[in-house]
Amino acid sequence: MKPNVKIVKIGGNIINDKVLLNDVLNDFAYLEGPKILIHGGGKKATEVANLMGLEPKMINGRRVTDAKTLETVTMVYAGLLNKNIVAQLQSKQCNAIGLTGADANLIKAHQRIVNDIDYGFAGDIDQIESVVLGQFIQLNLVPVFCAITHNQQGQLLNTNADTIAAEIAAALAIQFQVELIYCFEKNGVLHSVLEDDSVIETIDGTKYLQLKKDKIIADGMLPKLENCFAALNKGVAKVLIGNPTIIKNRNQKYTTLTL
Amino acid sequence: MKPNVKIVKIGGNIINDKVLLNDVLNDFAYLEGPKILIHGGGKKATEVANLMGLEPKMINGRRVTDAKTLETVTMVYAGLLNKNIVAQLQSKQCNAIGLTGADANLIKAHQRIVNDIDYGFAGDIDQIESVVLGQFIQLNLVPVFCAITHNQQGQLLNTNADTIAAEIAAALAIQFQVELIYCFEKNGVLHSVLEDDSVIETIDGTKYLQLKKDKIIADGMLPKLENCFAALNKGVAKVLIGNPTIIKNRNQKYTTLTL
Could you read off the pLDDT of A10-23 as tens digits, one per residue?
998 999 999 999 99
Sheet order of strands, A202-203 included: A96-99, A142-145, A35-39, A4-10, A177-183, A238-242, A255-257, A202-203
Structural domains present in chain B = 4-257 (3.40.1160.10)
Tell whether A172 is within 8 A of chain B (Cβ): no
Phi/psi at A216 (nearest 5 deg)? -75, -35
- Contact call for B77 and A79, based on CB within 8 A: yes
Q: What is the mean pLDDT of residues A199-221?
A: 93
> What pLDDT sits at residue A76?
97
> What pLDDT sits at residue A61?
67
Q: How many CB pairs under 8 A join A and B?
A: 126
> What pLDDT sits at residue A230?
95
> Is the pLDDT reported for residue A70 higher than 80?
yes
Helix ranges restricted to H, A78-153: 82-91, 130-138
Q: What is the mean pLDDT of residues A226-234?
A: 95
- Looking at residue A2, the DSSP 8-state letter turns out to be P
> What pLDDT sits at residue A139?
97
Share of chain B above pLDDT 90, in %: 83
> What pLDDT sits at residue A193?
86
- Contact call for A74 and B51, based on CB within 8 A: no
Picking from A77, A99, A156, the nearest residue to B84 by CB comes out as A156
Highest mean pLDDT among B38-47, B91-100, B220-229: B91-100
> What pLDDT sits at residue A62?
72
pTM beyond 0.90, yes or no: yes
Neighbours of A16 (CB within 10 A): 15
pLDDT-derived band at B61 (thresholds 50, 70, 90) equals low
CA B110 to chain centroid: 18
Share of chain B above pLDDT 70, in %: 100
Q: Among A227-241, B154-168, B207-221, where is mean pLDDT lowest?
A: B207-221
What is the C-alpha to C-alpha distance for residues B183 and B225, in angstroms, rounded to an integer?
13
Q: Pick the residue from chain B with its C-alpha nearest to A95.
A: B104
Q: What is the mean pLDDT of residues B108-128?
A: 95
Chain B residues with beta carbon closer than 8 angstroms to that of A82 = 78-79
Chain A residues with beta carbon closer than 8 angstroms to that of B149 = none
Give the mutation candidate from A74, A133, A157 for the B interface (greatest B CB count, under 10 A).
A74
- Contact call for A153 and B75, based on CB within 8 A: no
Tell whether B132 is within 8 A of chain A (Cβ): yes
Picking from B90, B153, B154, the nearest residue to A152 by CB comes out as B90
pLDDT 10s digits, A157-176: 999 999 999 999 999 999 99
- Mean pLDDT score of chain A: 95
Phi/psi at A18 (nearest 5 deg)? -55, -45
Q: What is the mean pLDDT of residues B193-220?
A: 93
pLDDT-derived band at B129 (thresholds 50, 70, 90) equals very high
Tell whether B177 is within 8 A of chain A (Cβ): no
CA atoms within 13 A on the CB side of B102: 35
Q: What is the mean pLDDT of residues A133-153?
A: 98
What is the C-alpha to C-alpha distance for residues A159 and B160, in angstroms, rounded to an integer?
32
> Is the pLDDT reported for residue B213 higher than 90?
yes
pLDDT-derived band at A108 (thresholds 50, 70, 90) equals very high
Q: Pick the residue from chain B with its C-alpha nearest to A133.
A: B139
Share of chain A above pLDDT 70, in %: 100
Give the mutation candidate from B97, B127, B146, B151 for the A interface (greatest A CB count, under 10 A).
B97
What is the C-alpha to C-alpha distance for residues A80 and A67, in angstroms, rounded to an integer?
19
> What pLDDT sits at residue A256?
97
- Contact call for B86 and A95, based on CB within 8 A: no
pLDDT-derived band at A138 (thresholds 50, 70, 90) equals very high
Inter-CA distances, A197 with A163, A185, A189, B94, Å? 26, 13, 10, 51
- Mean pLDDT score of chain B: 95
> What pLDDT sits at residue B53?
85
Tell whether B249 is within 8 A of chain A (Cβ): no
> What pLDDT sits at residue B56?
78
Q: Pick the residue from chain B with its C-alpha nearest to A131.
A: B139
- Contact call for B132 and A152, based on CB within 8 A: no
Tell whether A258 is within 8 A of chain B (Cβ): no
The candidate with the shortest Cα–Cα distance to B158, out of B34, B84, B21, B49, is B49
